[in-house]
Structures are given as C-alpha cells and as structure tokens.
Amino acid sequence: MPAPSDLVARLGLPPGARALILNADDFGMCRAANRAITELLVDGHLDSTTLMVPCPWAPEALAFAASRTDLDLGVHLVLTSEWTSYRWRPLTGVGTTLVDAAGYFPADCRTVEEQASDADVAAELAAQIDAALAAGMDVTHLDNHMGSVYGVETGRTFLPQVFELAARHGLPFRLPRTIGGMGMPDAYQGVLDQATAAADAAGVVILDHLLTHPFELLGEGTAEEEDYASMKATFLDLVRATEPGVTEFFLHPMLDDDELGDVADFAVAKRGFERRLLADPDVAATLAEEGIVRVGWRDLRDVQRGLPPRVRDASGTPAARVGDAVGGAR
C-alpha cells in the first residue's frame, strides 16, 4: 500500500496527523437532499457537499451555494441518472452520446463507458462546472456521481478530461491514492497508481484515502435489515480506523420523507439514518477522542493554488484569512 503523501504537511498539520473531510454527495438531486444537507452544513456537521448541476432541484441548491460562499461546495460531475421514475438530462442536450433511448443520462456506469465519446464527456463536464460558476457558486472541488469517470466497469476512463478541467480551474478532485476502504480488488491498485500519477503530473490535488459505507440499506426488507444502531457502530469503527493522511468519508444524507420515497427505488431509510448520524453527538465525540482533525476541500484547493495553509488552533480549527468570506473559518 502506498505511503501517505505530503499533503498533511502542505496543510500545515504535524507529521502523522489524521485529517478527515465529511462530504455529502447528491446536493441538488431532490428537495429531500437539499433540506438535509443545508441543515447539516450550516450546523457544522458536514465539512462539504457536492452539487448535481443537471438535476431538477439544482437551482435551489445553486442559490444556496451563491449565498454561502464561506461553505465548501463542489460540483458532483454527472454522467448517469439511476432512478426509475425520476431522471435528468445532460446540459449539452440530447443529441449526443451521453443519453439513453429516452434522452436521459444512462442509469449505469457501464453504458457510459461503452457509448460516451471523449469529446461529449469533456463538453458536458465543462458545462456543469461553468453553470455552477455562472450561478455565483465558489466551487471548492470536484467529484463524480456513481464513479462514472473512473473506468471501473470496463477500464475505459474519463479521468484525463476531469484532470484537464480540474487543473484549468485550480480545483482538487476526489481520487484516493489507496484502494483500502473502498472494497476494490487488490489488482485495481496498479490502475489507481497510474491515475494518481496523472493527477500529480497535472498538478491536481487528490486525497490519500477515501471511505464510505454501503449505499444500500443492508438486508432491506428482511428480518436482518440494518438498523440505525448497527450502521452507526460500523461508521464509528471506520472513523477510529482512519489512517494518517487526508481521508474523505462521503455519505448521502437526505430527509427520508414521502418525496424521497417517490424518487428513490431503495434505501430511503438509509438516507435518513445518515442525516441522523452526521448530527449524532457521538460522531463529534469520537473524532475528538481519536485526535482526528477535520479539514475541508477549500484547504486542499488552497494547496493546489499555492496559498499558505491557514493557522489552526489546538482543536484544528483554521483561522479566517483576510479576504475570506464572512464565516469562512471552519
């Protein structure tokens, strides 16, 4: 397994520091996502979120982002539309290789890898970033919905297009240096090493580690269905096992209400569990007990743009710089 990079040092943290970003994916997908994520961000339970620009509720999310440029909000680059009855289309229109027979993004990554042209992918991802910037969003980072750019299904990757955009805009990207914590086969580490070398060559800042837990509600509909207590215990165990370096843990918190029940085909209760989890006092207490420092993607963006690290107090909280938006200190 590769050793951690020098990113913690570049962030002004001591050697061996364990730094963690708590990110919420799928901002803008639906109102249930928007309501949960804005609440968690404003209350400080999340370090960042990433916004799905093509989705129906993106305008509300973009308006929030433009009003709170002190918060860390990135673009969740979209090439898929996974739900049966609630779908979204490319910003670049339906006359491209990015759509299915109904004119929506495909439901799965394999279809994207097999049919999308490099040029159409590059144009669409650029359009999503440009739309976020035009709406007044201070984009702090990039990541990807469902992993459609990584080439996991067929080996055909769209990372060169992503790295070009990330370098052009001075934005870090969600890519770990190790496969640990992601449930990937060991053989994929070699592929990941090539991808991380390409990111480094492009000057794009990436993570040391990436963690999540299953998107699905384990055992849904059976007597062994996952409950909140078991999900929480698993999450806290993963947090305690956080390795030295910079780690992102991404989740998908939403209100588990009637709207989400109409949107999502499964795991509605899990989305509500994650919302509850992030606000659970035991999470903050465990981070403190473990000496884990919470950082944000804005910190990584500063590194990529050559800005000095923020001065941090004993708790790891950075002081605001001159020129930061009001409320900009984490």
Mean pLDDT, residues 49-64 taken together: 98
User: Max CA-CA distance within the chain?
Assistant: 56
Predicted local confidence at residue 322, as pLDDT: 40
Predicted local confidence at residue 316, as pLDDT: 60
122-158: per-residue pLDDT in tens? 999 999 999 999 999 999 999 999 999 999 999 999 9
How do strand 293-294 and strand 245-251 relate by DSSP bridges? Answer: unpaired
**pLDDT of 326 strictly over 60:** no
Report the 10 Å Cβ neighbour count for 269. Answer: 18
**Distance separating alpha carbons of residues 310 and 217, to the nearest angstrom:** 39
Residue pair 74/25 in contact by the 8 Å Cβ criterion? no
For tokens 């803008």, what's the residue?
28
Extents of the domains making up the chain: 6-305
Burial (Cβ within 10 Å: 0-12, 13-18, ≥19) of residue 288:
exposed
For tokens 């606000």, what's the residue?
279
229-256: per-residue pLDDT in tens? 999 999 999 999 999 999 999 999 999 9
Q: What is the CB-side half-sphere exposure of residue 224 using CA atoms within 13 A? A: 2
**Closest to 130 measured CA to CA, from 29, 79, 122:** 122
Residue 317 pLDDT class (50, 70, 90 cuts): low
**pLDDT of 324 strictly over 90:** no
Residue pair 254/26 in contact by the 8 Å Cβ criterion? yes
What is the DSSP code (8-state) at residue 209?
A: E
Residue pair 44/72 in contact by the 8 Å Cβ criterion? no
Domain 6-305, second-level architecture: Alpha-Beta Barrel (3.20)
Tokens representing residue 223 in the block:
């007597």
Handedness of CA 27, 28, 32, 35 (dihedral sign): positive
**Distance separating alpha carbons of residues 233 and 238, to the nearest angstrom:** 9
Q: What mean pLDDT is reported for the chain?
A: 93
Handedness of CA 165, 166, 167, 170 (dihedral sign): positive
Phi/psi at 134 (5° precision): -65, -25
Residue 270 pLDDT class (50, 70, 90 cuts): very high
**pLDDT of 281 strictly over 70:** yes
Partners of 73 in the beta sheet? Answer: 49, 139
Whole-model pTM?
A: 0.94
The alpha carbon of 90 is separated from its chain's Cα centroid by a whole number of angstroms, namely 20
**Closest to 40 measured CA to CA, from 56, 19, 22, 63:** 22
**Closest to 134 measured CA to CA, from 242, 221, 62, 64:** 62
